[in-house]
Amino acid sequence: MENEFHDIDDIPLRVEIQPYMFEPPARAEPKENSEENSETSTSVGDDESRLLNTLWAEGVNVETMTTVPECICCAEIPLIDEIRANSQIECITQHQAFIDNCLNIRVLEVSMYMYIQSQGPLDDNEPINKVYRHIAYRRFVLWIWHHLGSGNRKIIPACVVTKIRSVFPSEQYTGFRYPRPT
């Protein structure tokens, strides 16, 4: 049976990262009462005004997100904010470690081989850019929290999602794609 969250199956963390943090829902997702959504570690709560604009991101370039928990800036997550502040940058997406680890196609390519080794070959229908986005999100979580497993759920800030989406855009809209592994 097709798993709705098949693209994140290898993240033992289905309960760690909210899948809809990553991608606009392609199919109806059980957002309302899913266990994964029953709690968040953010303080954004139900501030639906965040869906109307991106002022909460304080000038950082983010897309308007589709759900409230997604509308969080890197400065609102204490651990990320600490790294950001220590590096004297405005946004975590300017951090060289982010650029090297999450946006560099050569780095992501090697991670993809590890992914394939543990998960089996990619589905022919799986857009390659989506795979790269997924791997980039995983690497971001690993960079910040040092593990993908147990513990509190990890929220990926909108600026990070936006940046990764801009580098690995949906093939559906842009027609642009990186080569698939052979």
Query: x/- binding map, residues 99-138, to Zn ion, per CB under 5 A?
Result: ----------------------------------------
Q: Which of residues 74 and 141 has its CB atom nearest to Zn ion in the complex?
A: 74
Residue of 44, 60, 102, 141 interacting with Zn ion (CB under 5 A): 60
Phi, psi (degrees; rounded to nearest 5) at 17: -115, 130
Total residues contacting Zn ion by CB under 5 A comes to 4
Using DSSP, state whether 154 is helix, strand or coil. Answer: strand
CB 19 within 8 A of CB 30: no
Q: Which of residues 58 and 109 has its CB atom nearest to Zn ion in the complex?
A: 58
Q: Which of residues 11 and 159 has its CB atom nearest to Zn ion in the complex?
A: 159
Tell which positions 7-46 bind Zn ion, by CB under 5 A.
none
- For the chain, the maximum distance between any two Cα atoms, rounded to a whole number of angstroms, is 47
80 binds Zn ion (CB under 5 A): no
Structure tokens at 49: 């005004």
91 binds Zn ion (CB under 5 A): yes
Look at residues 43, 16, 21 and name the one whose alpha carbon lies nearest to residue 142: 16
- Return the range that interacts with Zn ion (CB under 5 A); candidates 7-15, 43-51, 56-64, 130-138: 56-64
Structure tokens at 84: 């950001």
Q: Which of residues 138 and 163 has its CB atom nearest to Zn ion in the complex?
A: 163
Look at residues 149, 127, 123 and name the one whose alpha carbon lies nearest to residue 138: 149
Q: Which of residues 56 and 132 has its CB atom nearest to Zn ion in the complex?
A: 56
Q: Least distance in Å: CB of 60 to Zn ion?
A: 5
Q: Show the beta-strand stretches assigned E in the chain.
A: none
Tell which positions 151-180 bind Zn ion, by CB under 5 A.
159
Report DSSP state, residue 65.
Answer: P
- How many Å apart are CA 139 and CA 144, to the nearest integer? 9
User: Given the rule CB under 5 A, which residues bind Zn ion?
Assistant: 60, 74, 91, 159
